């Protein structure tokens, strides 16, 4: 689901100590979602449409109720064009999510097809991560009775809890040879138990060996890897790992790490923080990319300390292991970024792994 697939406000809760985020759920093996042909009969006989909760580029999302079970659902309605048919994003989302059953990936329950529209029935989640962070910030302002100098980031224990679930969901995708390609806070959904799940697989793609040539028009700009910004079309799982690094940094500070307004500005922000490829010692990975211009090659920017990248003052206490994890994820060279499995095994998660194993 996209940033439009958002749900009711939720700011409280404690990470469930018994939740097993280290192993796939018992339903993790591929299983097809049920598809209903509602051309005859009553297509929504068991689903009651409630309020509209979002509208995206190709779908409108409603909160719904399964009248047979009393369970809330999210109904993602796609209007079908008589000439163009079903949008490729919807086809892609359905085909991939039928195969992805995991506790950190939003569940697709059903697909209902009529002549005029396609409805994807998802499990209902209370927030997306962006909403959740905004709610925490507002609650913090209310508690402190001021809007000045109120920290925006999440508590670091909660950052760790969410980051582990994010990486766990991404790892399951990568193990099943799927790139998400649009990881951002608005596409990470959170329920009242603080379980985080990946949503919106409209840009996701299966990958194989050898790696196919993909489009470079993927991933929302602020979370787009530098190799993709430079025009690479032969990317791999590393593009998702860059996005994870940006998201974790945003959870810490409460603001986007690289809020560029176009590709060139985005690259400028990244290089100003992390240095330029030629200064870092090896630019062979990007030398032949179409947007690696002579102007970029002439820059000689040295990388900042990760605390400076985050805008953390010297007197703020941040675990060095967390800074190391971010450094491993936010590598300009995609070949140097750690994998999702390596990230899950990073020392920063050692105490969390001990709790959930």
Q: What is the pLDDT of residue 234?
A: 86
Cα separation, 228 vs 304, whole angstroms: 22
In this prediction the pTM is 0.85
Q: What is the pLDDT of residue 14?
A: 41
Condensed to tens digits (0 to 9), the pLDDT of residues 55-101 reads 877 789 999 999 999 999 999 998 887 667 778 888 888 989 888 99
More confident of the two residues 342 and 235: 342
**pLDDT over threshold 70, residue 1:** no
182 given a catalytic annotation: yes
Q: Confidence class of residue 209 from pLDDT cuts 50, 70 and 90?
A: very low
* Superfamily (CATH H level) for 128-356: Transferase(Phosphotransferase) domain 1 (1.10.510.10)
Tokens of 39: 């051309």
CA-closest candidate to residue 221, choices 181, 262, 268: 262
More confident of the two residues 244 and 284: 244
Catalytic site residue from 182, 200, 227, 240: 182
Tokens of 75: 């109904």
Whether the domain at 34-124 and the domain at 128-356 fall into the same CATH topology: no
Q: Confidence class of residue 16 from pLDDT cuts 50, 70 and 90?
A: very low
**CA 163-228-152 angle, 5° bins:** 35
Q: What is the pLDDT of residue 141?
A: 95
Q: Confidence class of residue 215 from pLDDT cuts 50, 70 and 90?
A: low
* Strands (DSSP E) found in the chain: 34-37, 47-55, 60-66, 71-79, 108-113, 117-123, 127-128, 178-179, 188-190, 196-198, 205-206
Integer angstrom CA distances of residue 309 from 45, 202, 329? 53, 31, 14
Mean pLDDT for 187-206 is 94
Q: What is the pLDDT of residue 252?
A: 96
Integer angstrom CA distances of residue 138 from 108, 147, 198? 32, 9, 24
Q: What is the pLDDT of residue 28?
A: 36
User: What phi, psi does 108 have (nearest 5°)?
Assistant: -95, 115
Condensed to tens digits (0 to 9), the pLDDT of residues 108-132 reads 999 998 888 899 999 999 999 999 9
Q: What is the pLDDT of residue 325?
A: 98
39-49 CB burial, b ≥16 within 10 A, e <16: eeeebbebbee
Tokens of 188: 């990470």
Condensed to tens digits (0 to 9), the pLDDT of residues 260-291 reads 999 999 999 999 999 999 888 788 999 999 99
User: What phi, psi does 290 have (nearest 5°)?
Assistant: -60, -25
User: What phi, psi does 64 have (nearest 5°)?
Assistant: -135, 170
User: What phi, psi does 76 have (nearest 5°)?
Assistant: -100, 105
Condensed to tens digits (0 to 9), the pLDDT of residues 157-191 reads 999 999 999 999 999 999 999 999 999 999 999 99
At the second CATH level, the architecture of 34-124 is: 2-Layer Sandwich (3.30)
The domain limits of the chain are: 34-124, 128-356
Q: What is the mean pLDDT of the chain?
A: 85
Mean pLDDT for 142-146 is 93
Question: Per the annotation, does 76 bind a ligand?
Answer: yes
């Amino acid at each position: 689901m996209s940033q439009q697939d958002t749900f009711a406000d939720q700011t409280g809760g404690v990470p469930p100590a018994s939740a097993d985020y280290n192993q796939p759920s018992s339903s993790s093996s591929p299983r097809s979602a049920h598809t209903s042909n509602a051309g005859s009969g009553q297509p929504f006989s068991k689903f009651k449409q409630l309020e509209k909760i979002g509208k995206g580029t190709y779908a409108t999302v409603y909160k719904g109720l399964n009248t047979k079970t009393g369970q809330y659902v999210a109904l993602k309605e796609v209007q079908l064009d008589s000439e163009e048919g079903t949008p490729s994003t919807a086809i892609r989302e359905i085909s991939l999510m039928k195969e992805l059953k995991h506790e950190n990936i939003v569940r697709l329950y059903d697909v209902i097809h009529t002549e005029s529209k396609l409805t994807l029935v998802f499990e209902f989640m209370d927030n997306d991560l962006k909403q959740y962070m905004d709610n925490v910030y507002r609650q913090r302002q209310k508690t402190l009775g001021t809007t000045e100098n109120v920290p925006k980031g999440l508590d670091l224990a909660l950052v760790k809890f969410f980051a582990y679930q994010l990486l766990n969901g991404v790892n399951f995708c990568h193990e099943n040879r799927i790139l998400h390609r649009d990881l951002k806070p608005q596409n990470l959904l959170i329920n009242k138990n603080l379980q985080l799940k990946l949503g919106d697989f409209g840009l996701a793609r299966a990958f194989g060996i050898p790696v196919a040539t993909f489009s470079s028009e993927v991933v929302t700009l602020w979370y787009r890897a530098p190799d993709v910004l430079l025009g690479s079309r032969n990317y791999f799982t590393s593009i998702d790992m860059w996005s994870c690094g940006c998201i974790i940094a945003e959870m810490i500070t409460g603001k986007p790490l690289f809020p560029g307004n176009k590709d060139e500005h985005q690259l400028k922000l990244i290089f100003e923080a992390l240095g330029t490829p030629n200064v870092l010692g090896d630019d062979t990975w990007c030398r032949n990319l179409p947007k690696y211009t002579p102007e970029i090659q002439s820059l000689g920017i040295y990388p900042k300390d990760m605390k400076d990248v985050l805008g953390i003052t010297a007197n703020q206490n941040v675990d060095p292991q967390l800074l190391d994890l971010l450094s491993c994820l936010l590598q300009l060279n995609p070949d140097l970024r750690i994998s999702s499995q390596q990230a899950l095994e990073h020392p920063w998660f050692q105490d969390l792994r001990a709790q959930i194993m």
